[in-house]
Amino acid sequence: MTALYHPHHQPQQGQPNLDQHYPAALIQSLTQAVLQDGFCVLRNHFSREILQAWHQAFTPLLEDHIAREGDRQNRGAERYYVTLPFTAPFANPKIFEDEVVLAIVAGLVGEDAVMCQLATDTPLLGSDYQAIHRDAPPLFPEIPQETPPFQLAVNFPLVDVTLENGPFEVARGTHLMTKEEGLRRLEAGEVQLEPITLNLGDVMIRDVRGLHRGTPNRTQTPRPMVVIGYSRRWLFRPEVSIQIPHPMLDTLSDRARHLLRFNPVVESLNDQSTEIYQSYAY
């Protein structure tokens, strides 16, 4: 069973997600779901107003990205990876410091986890099925056993995700085995790819080793999915980073500074090269 977070535990829209709304047992069961299934979904968790503002700010970034790098197509036809600038509206602690998400993250990749990625994946009309993949190589490719989690993706869409506009598909439990074994089980019909439909406000937390793929967006409307990466403190992923503009530093809480501590601080975002995350599938 995917652990679902049910609305009767839900804080009012616009209210902070305080711990008392999320009993420790619920956080524990969501954490356990990620350990067992490779993912969990928190329904109706983030403020839709905040995400609507993100969507508005994202649209010109996508257009600009396509104009500059549209011919790269390294994630497949009509599918784009766009880094989000760590400025308003995206540098919002109500999202990246969400108490519940951080509690689950801490239970999976440690209290001293780091935030290493803030970006989006967006299929458009004309996109296709991706090859089934993971987002990270195994820590120890020499042995056929998997390890406890070390890299998480916190995903949430900027539009409702339906079966028509390119739902992410994932095979439950495949983070616990080698990629070859996961592919064998898929081939044998022992596990299936499941499409994850999400409403604006829903959040998926996943172990990036779960075998998954993007699917075609058959609508005219782009389907942006945000990815915030949280890792164990010792994991270095040179392909991703978050450039922190110096003026933002004063606005960050101690916890945010700690989460972001291994990211580069830059004078301004204007003259910096952006993240190039080319090789994404393992």
Closer of 22 and 58 to ligand AKG (Cβ): 58
Alpha-carbon gap, residue 272 to 151, rounded angstroms? 26
Closer to ligand AKG by CB, 40 or 248: give it: 40
Residue in 33, 40, 46, 75 binding ligand AKG, rule: CB under 6 A: 75
CA dihedral 17, 23, 27, 28 (to 10 degrees): 170
Residues of span 136-195 touching ligand AKG by CB under 6 A: 166, 168
**Residue number, 17 or 83, with CB nearest to ligand AKG:** 83
Task: Considering the complex, state which of residue 107 and residue 214 has its C-beta at the smaller distance from ligand AKG.
Answer: 214
Q: At closest approach, how far in Å is the CB of 72 from ligand AKG?
A: 13
Candidates 121, 146, 202, 207; binder of ligand AKG (CB under 6 A) is 121
| Pick from 139, 134, 140, 130: nearest CA to 153 | 134
- Which CB atom, from 109 or from 225, has the smaller least distance to ligand AKG? 225
Share of the chain residues as helix, strand and coil, in percent rounded to the nearest 5: 30, 20, 50
Other beta carbons within 10 angstroms of residue 14's beta carbon come to: 10
Instruction: Kindly tell me which of 226 and 256 has the beta carbon lying closer to ligand AKG.
Output: 226
- Report whether the peptide linkage leading into residue 7 is cis, meaning its omega lies within 30 degrees of zero: no
| Inter-axis angle of helices 99-109 and 24-37, nearest 10 | 50
Q: The tokens of 177 are what?
A: 């085995």
Neighbours of 60 (CB within 10 A): 9
Site map 35..64 versus ligand AKG, x via CB under 6 A: ------------------------------
> Which ranges of the chain would DSSP assign to H, the alpha helix?
24-37, 48-69, 93-96, 99-109, 179-188, 254-259
Report if residue 212 touches ligand AKG, rule: CB under 6 A: yes
Smallest distance from ligand AKG to CB 258, Å = 28
Residue 30 interacts with ligand AKG (CB under 6 A): yes or no = no
3-state secondary structure of 120: strand
Residue 121 beta carbon to ligand AKG: minimum distance, rounded to whole angstroms: 3
Give contact residues for ligand AKG (rule: CB under 6 A): 75, 121, 130, 135, 166, 168, 212, 214, 225, 280
